[in-house]
Amino acid sequence: MPHDCSFLRELSLADDQVSVAPADRDDYATDYGTTAADASAPDAVVYPESSEDVAAVLAAANERGVPVTPYAAGSGTEGHAVPVRGGVTLAMERMDRVLDVRPDDLQVDVQPGVVGDDLNEHVASHDLFFPAFPQSAAFSTVGGMIATDASGRRTVKYGEVREWVRELDVVTADGRTLTLGNRATKTSAGYNLRDLFVGSEGTLGVVTRATLELAVRPAETLGGRAVFPTLDDATAAVTDVRRAGVDVATLELVDALTADIANSYTGAGLPDAPTVFFELHGRALDAERDRLREIFERHDADRVDASADDEEMAELWAARRDVGRALQAYDENRVLQTAGDVTVPLGSYADVVRYIGAVGDEYDLPIPAFGHAGDGNAHYAVLVDPDDPDEVERGHEASADIVREAVRLGGTCTGEHGVGRGKRDYLADELADETLDAMRDVKDLFDPEGILNPGKVFR
């Protein structure tokens, strides 16, 4: 049953900040990971332009029991931003300003709608950058990254987004604005509520401002790729690079199927073989490159290509960079049913990647494996024919098998995409009942009426 959202017109919002037009509502009925069959539109869309706007909407909605779903760029894979019970969508796209850059502090203040690449472009003149952005930084927003505690291909050196968040302004369900954390590099003052909200997927509050730490741009950058005869050779090389202490910024893996899919899209000419992509950041990188090459060749790498030239590096990385788009275009008869992101301890990475291939064979489905090998994050993609019910069911079973194997190996059902709707059922495999109960208690404390992004993380 639709929710009555007429109260929005009683708030101090401009006419163009509220819409109930079907076309506008439909714009927020899906995200990257939601098919048209699972679309669910809100009853109204609000375009806040300030923290005060967000607070007014949440306070009024909370009084009336109307659900509120924050929406950033819609780049999530687990349906985080899609409302499950209608209500109001908070479209954060107009809160897209870089508020302040403090080069001496290595910090920047931003609103949540700032796109990742735009932020890096803004601070580049200060010879700074934000190193923890995910692969989707060209179109995903800071708010969405904080909501899912995103990470990407440089996590092996720079860590996750949460490690670079210093201070947050967060509006809770009842309209209170909390400032969490501070601008200091470290603090031991009280409970760490800032980190509680990072990764909470909009279920505890809505971020309206963030202070992020920045890094100095590396003096030198060198990147490349190495091609291996077998997947075991490639994963063993990754493990040895980490154990040897090579100062890598990036270690990415694609299996032979992923390489073939990427080639069909980009024409990159990558051999249809397991490939490791790498980046080095720092000074005097020749010695680190030579250590990498020696380890790769010890594991029978057929070829190792490396370059410090930006254009050549982009060409070497083309196949890995475009995997997401390549998966969508690979087979006109199949759709991307699941974009998985399990993470395991590094020593088990070879096992989980090998298992993904075995599951694909068992269920007779193309399931390419790729991902951030340097930190144990294995991505996989389940491609199915949506018109074949049996294949759709096999796809769900295949994904469940992969997730449960990752958890069995001491890992997690989601390394960076978050839980959303897609991973809710797997939390019980990973976490004890008492832990889940404690999480629900936290949710009830900050959102007793259950209006904030309902149906995400928990059913």
Domain harbouring 66, CATH code: 3.30.43.10
**Token pair of 34, please?**
């939601």
Q: Do 277 and 350 reside in the same domain of the chain?
A: no
Kindly state whether residue 132 falls inside one of the protein's structural domains. Answer: yes
Kindly state whether residue 439 falls inside one of the protein's structural domains. Answer: no
Kindly state whether residue 442 falls inside one of the protein's structural domains. Answer: no
Summarize the confidence of residues 10-36 as an average pLDDT.
93
Poorest-confidence range of 15-19, 101-105, 455-459?
A: 455-459
Q: Do 292 and 240 reside in the same domain of the chain?
A: yes
**Token pair of 266, please?**
């980009």
Q: Following DSSP, what letter does each residue of 181-236 receive, concatenated?
A: E-SSS---SS--HHHHHTTSTTSS-EEEEEEEE-EEPPSEEEEEEEE-SSHHHHHH
Q: Do 111 and 204 reside in the same domain of the chain?
A: yes
Q: What is the CATH number of the domain that holds 314?
A: 3.30.70.2190
Token look-up 């923290």 returns 51
* End position of a domain, from candidates 189, 216, 243: 216
Boundaries of domain holding 264? 220-320
Reported as a pLDDT band with limits 50, 70 and 90, residue 10 is: very high
281-323, pLDDT tens digit by residue? 998 899 999 999 999 999 999 888 888 788 877 777 777 878 8
* End position of a domain, from candidates 216, 240, 268: 216
For the chain, what is the domain count?
A: 4
Cα(138)–Cα(122) distance, integer angstroms: 13
403-415, pLDDT tens digit by residue? 999 999 999 999 9
Cα(426)–Cα(417) distance, integer angstroms: 14
Q: Do 103 and 178 reside in the same domain of the chain?
A: yes
**Token pair of 173, please?**
């369900």
Q: Do 295 and 335 reside in the same domain of the chain?
A: no
Token look-up 């291909």 returns 153
196-210, pLDDT tens digit by residue? 999 999 999 999 999
Q: Do 360 and 407 reside in the same domain of the chain?
A: yes
DSSP, res 452: B
Question: Do 211 and 170 meet the contact criterion of CB atoms below 8 Å apart?
Answer: no
Tell me, what's the pLDDT at 80?
A: 92
Tell me, what's the pLDDT at 38?
A: 82
Q: Do 355 and 404 reside in the same domain of the chain?
A: yes
pLDDT at residue 128 tops 80? yes
Cα(10)–Cα(274) distance, integer angstroms: 59
Q: What is the CATH number of the domain that holds 379?
A: 3.30.70.2740
Kindly state whether residue 454 falls inside one of the protein's structural domains. Answer: no
